[in-house]
């Protein structure tokens, strides 16, 4: 059986579902391929890389906490985090009743070249912003936003730039494409599946 594997650059404001949502944009507005489903989710106010497939075993291996595959995000945060705040994020943060796993976190300098967002992030002359790259091996609901807020740097904009071996490169917001054979092989090797 032949499976489909798609990469999609989800724009801000798009819901990660195919069913109608009271006039709000969904995946159905962008992807005309039947019977593929998002592997994991991105909140409506988050942007970036989404993998879609009809391969159920792959979906399970990429979403199960047991497999701990990496996901990388770029977060634009309020104010410039100091070394202590970044170290806290790297060690893990207590969020409500949950301790996050250690994460790879670094400040992006220079700031990344990202497409403009509609609507744009609010600008305040008196509050500088900074961009962080965070690589997590878990995906709790709104985790990056809760982590940065816990160390005093609320997230203003969040873009997922990588899922495991897959990257957002060469995809503009709203664009999608099939995985290349090389991407399928690398992903399959990581999750121990033949794709």
- Single out the catalytic residue among 29, 43, 82, 97: 43
Cα–Cα distance, 36 to 7 (Å, whole number): 11
CATH of 5-65+165-191, one of 3.30.70.580, 2.60.120.10, 3.40.50.2000, 3.40.350.10: 3.30.70.580
Any alpha helices (H) in the chain, and if so which ranges?
56-63, 83-91, 143-150, 181-191
Least Cα distance to 153 among 134, 169, 177 occurs for 134
The answer to whether residues 76 and 157 touch, using CB atoms and an 8 Å cutoff, is yes
Which numeric CATH code is attached to 71-162?
Answer: 3.30.70.1560
Q: Output the pLDDT for position 41.
A: 87
- Are 101 and 134 in contact by the 8 Å Cβ rule? The answer is no
Write down the pLDDT at residue 193: 86
C-alpha 119/C-alpha 152 separation (Å) is: 24
E strand or H helix that includes residue 173:
none
Cα(145)–Cα(156) distance, rounded to whole angstroms?
Answer: 9
Contacts of 144 (CB under 8 A, 6+ apart): 73, 75, 134, 136, 155, 158
**12 near 47, Cβ under 8 Å?**
yes
Output the pLDDT for position 23: 85
Residue 1 has what pLDDT?
60
Give the pLDDT of residue 125: 86
Dist. CA 4–CA 42, nearest whole Å: 20
Per-residue pLDDT of the chain (195 residues; tens, 9 = 90+): 689 999 999 999 999 999 877 889 999 999 999 999 999 889 999 999 999 999 999 988 888 777 788 999 999 999 999 999 999 999 999 988 889 999 999 999 999 999 999 889 988 888 999 999 999 998 888 999 999 999 999 999 999 999 999 999 989 999 999 999 999 999 999 888 888
43 is catalytic: yes
CB distance 176 to 36 below 8 Å:
no
pTM: 0.94
For residue 139, the model assigns a pLDDT of 81
- Sequence length of the chain is 195
Domain boundaries, the chain: 5-65+165-191, 71-162
* The two domains 5-65+165-191 and 71-162 share their CATH topology (first three levels equal): yes
Strand, helix or coil for residue 19: coil
């Amino acid at each position: 059986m032949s499976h489909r594997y798609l990469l999609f650059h989800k724009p801000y404001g798009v819901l990660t579902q195919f069913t109608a949502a009271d006039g709000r944009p969904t995946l159905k507005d962008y992807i005309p391929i039947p019977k593929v489903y998002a592997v994991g989710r991105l909140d409506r106010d988050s942007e970036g890389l989404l993998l879609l497939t009809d391969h159920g075993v792959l979906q399970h291996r990429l979403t199960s906490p047991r497999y701990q595959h990496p996901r990388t995000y770029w977060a634009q945060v309020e104010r410039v985090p100091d070394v202590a705040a970044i170290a806290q994020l790297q060690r893990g943060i207590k969020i409500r009743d949950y301790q996050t796993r250690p994460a790879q976190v670094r400040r992006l300098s220079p700031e990344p070249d990202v497409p403009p967002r509609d609507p744009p992030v609010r600008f305040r002359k008196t509050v500088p912003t900074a961009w962080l790259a965070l690589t997590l091996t878990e995906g709790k609901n709104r985790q990056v936003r809760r982590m940065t807020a816990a160390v005093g740097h609320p997230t203003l904009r969040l873009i997922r730039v990588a899922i495991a071996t897959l990257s957002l490169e060469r995809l503009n917001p709203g664009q999608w494409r099939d995985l290349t054979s090389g991407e399928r092989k690398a992903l399959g090797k990581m999750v121990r599946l033949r794709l």
